[in-house]
Amino acid sequence: MLLANARLDPVIEQDPIPFRLAHMHPGADPAALAPYLDWLAPAHYRPDEDALMLSHHSWVVRTAAGTVLIDPCVGNGRDRPMLPFYHQLDTPWLERLGALDLTPEDIDFVICTHLHVDHCGWNTRLRDGRWVPTFPNARYVFSRVEHDYWAEQESVSPPRFAFNAGVYTDSVKPVIDAGLALLVDDVEGFSFAEGFSLMSTPGHTPGHMALTLDAGTDGALFCGDVLHSPVQICCPDWRSSSSFDDRQAIASRRRVLDTCADSGYFLATAHFPAPHGCRIERDGSGGYRPRW
């Protein structure tokens, strides 16, 4: 995708993966989605299976200020026994990055919106029995709040979120040890390169952040897990089973949707199936609708 002065490309790891609506959004009434099935089904939601169809992908953004990689997925060869669809993956994610005429050495910045298993795995790869940074020339940008929370959780027994056990050790700590991390204390408005700004969007995790790109006459907002599926455009106040704090998560979701509706920015998501994002419009009744 081309914006005014930037190029955006998704790098697919797994697509699609079905997740039960009832599991993702406990207590949600599927009947609320009936008015939207003409565009939700079957690409994003399959009512007969009660399944949300999600993608797992990263984004690469190329501008004059540098090449930025956002949310580097799960990664290969990870022990994730609680999550079979993430356990010991062997995907051609790096080859797909190469198909964009990019090598790991070409990446200038890696942005992790948060430090869940499916957003920071390719930070590292296994070399000679050790996890080492995949992108040796990059600065890895983390929220300090997010970093400190998961660093502490790694030593807590039992952990609050057992599905994320081991992620800090194999996908974050090697970056810290290599001196490649940039820990941001005050996320809101922080710019690491011209045109890019961070946005504080806590709720899904304690230090979750989004990223905006001002590309001249156009722009994009990379929302991480503020939204997982287009059903959250229709029903932004549905609670999520994966939220650290539902109240904050809903406020962050509405902030992101309002920002995109007001600015016209492309909403670049981490989990929507192709085309992986959309523009956001207000529907006239206080809600939102996508423009694909």
Q: Is residue 152 part of a domain?
A: yes
129, amino acid identity: G
Per-residue confidence (pLDDT) for residue 192, from 0 to 100 = 98
Q: 0.75 exceeded by the pTM?
A: yes
Per DSSP, the three-state class of 11 is strand
Q: Is residue 283 part of a domain?
A: yes
Q: Is residue 271 part of a domain?
A: yes
Per-residue confidence (pLDDT) for residue 66, from 0 to 100 = 98
Per-residue confidence (pLDDT) for residue 162, from 0 to 100 = 87
CATH code where residue 123 lies:
3.60.15.10
Per DSSP, the three-state class of 22 is helix
**Strand partners for 200:** 209
Q: Is residue 1 part of a domain?
A: no
pLDDT digits (tens, 9 = 90+) for 103-156: 999 999 999 999 999 999 999 999 999 999 999 999 999 999 999 999 999 888
Question: What is the domain extent for residue 155?
Answer: 7-291
pLDDT digits (tens, 9 = 90+) for 143-192: 999 999 999 998 888 878 889 999 999 999 999 999 999 999 999 999 99
Q: How far is Cα 281 from Cα 62, in angstroms, rounded to an integer? A: 26
- The mean pLDDT of the chain is 96
- Tell whether omega for the bond before 16 is within 30 degrees of 0, i.e. cis: yes
Q: Is residue 23 part of a domain?
A: yes
Q: Of all helices (H) and strands (E), which one includes residue 202?
A: none
Q: Is residue 2 part of a domain?
A: no
Q: Is residue 252 part of a domain?
A: yes
Best CA proximity match to 10, nearest among 59, 56, 55:
59
Tally of structural domains, the chain:
1
